[in-house]
Chains A and B, each alone.
Chain A
Amino acid sequence: MIFIIARKEFRSLFAVPSTWLILGALQFIFAWFFLARLDAFLQVQAQLAQIENAPGATLAVATPLFGTLALIFMMLIPVFTMRLIAEERRNQTLTLLMTAPVTEMHIVLGKFFGLLLVLLLLVASSTLMVLSLAAGTHLDIGLLLSNALGLLLLAASYAAVGLYISSLTAQPVVAAISSLAVLFGFWLLEISSADSEIALSKFSPTTHFQNFNIGLLNSADAAYFALFIAGFLLMTIRRLHNNRVYG
């Protein structure tokens, strides 16, 4: 059941031209950053070669690149998530799902994984772009995979937030702006309290992404993402159930 809903969601996302446009534009921006980073790396490569244990291409190109992508995702994912439930509510198609023999959990997980598949494509395509460097240099595959995994987890947690906010309203635009505000808030938590004593930044997904970004696989970070995603998905399920109770 989850798979059926996820597949429908995936296909619906690709049925609207805006998705293609966003994906295309994103790929373009990403390629731009990639080439700029690569260019900068090539210019300093001669000096780097003289230092012992110099940073390789992966650290110099991939790490900042994925960091940038994390920021772009913050602004991009609300655009994808806004339609998931809010638009169904506005078009009154939610009734179809609510009266079908599926539980709220199927609906929420279906929609979540459908979107996650799109985000996986995005992460995979950017990883592939960096992998193209393997033709000319030695790549730190471990660091690259850690970045890709971190980015995917970050995207999944953003998607969970967006899905929950989408379930609160019947207006996709309101959902998009609210999700953006919340994600921006999380980001501010990280940058504003990074140096202070208070551990507020621990609550921000981006803080935990930093570790993945530098190639540090920490089970605490993974657990944080799992809890974060599960928490928001549970709240979404709860919200859909309340939909039945309060109309």
Chain B
Amino acid sequence: MDPHQQHPIRLRLNGQDREFDVESWVTLLDLLRERAGLTGTKKGCDHGQCGACTVLLDGRRVNACLTLAVMQDGHEVTTIEGLAKGEDLHPLQQAFIDCDAFQCGYCTPGQICSAAGLIAEGQAKTIADVRELMSGNVCRCGAYPQIVRAVAQVLELDASALDEGKPFTTGSVLA
């Protein structure tokens, strides 16, 4: 079999059916940025360590850099461009503005898609849970307190622990 073969794929991309021909080695991230023209999803490390490429795949948050486009034939992908409804921002987008939850903004699309996935998963019950379950998204500007506050705002969680400045001690979440 020819390793350079083009594979036809169809994606439901931000609510639209899109068709592409891709080589086997094209990641979902590169497809989105280079072929679908959706550059909101960012390439940070390209190794699944930073979370900048987080998108929703069939509603679940994943690192778009660590999956192949050809593996997602027939699946539904939502990127940061697909979250707002027309001119109405997604509640997380509004909360990130309200809480000043970014500085340079490079990690923000991934942070917001990750937070959307976190909310859909329904596992975060406290601020400590939000911190732990957002740990797959790195922010080199260090906007973490504001990011947690923004996610907490949408989840309507008590964020007073953030105001008290208490250190958080540990990570794992067990329901």
Q: Do A and B come from one complex?
A: no
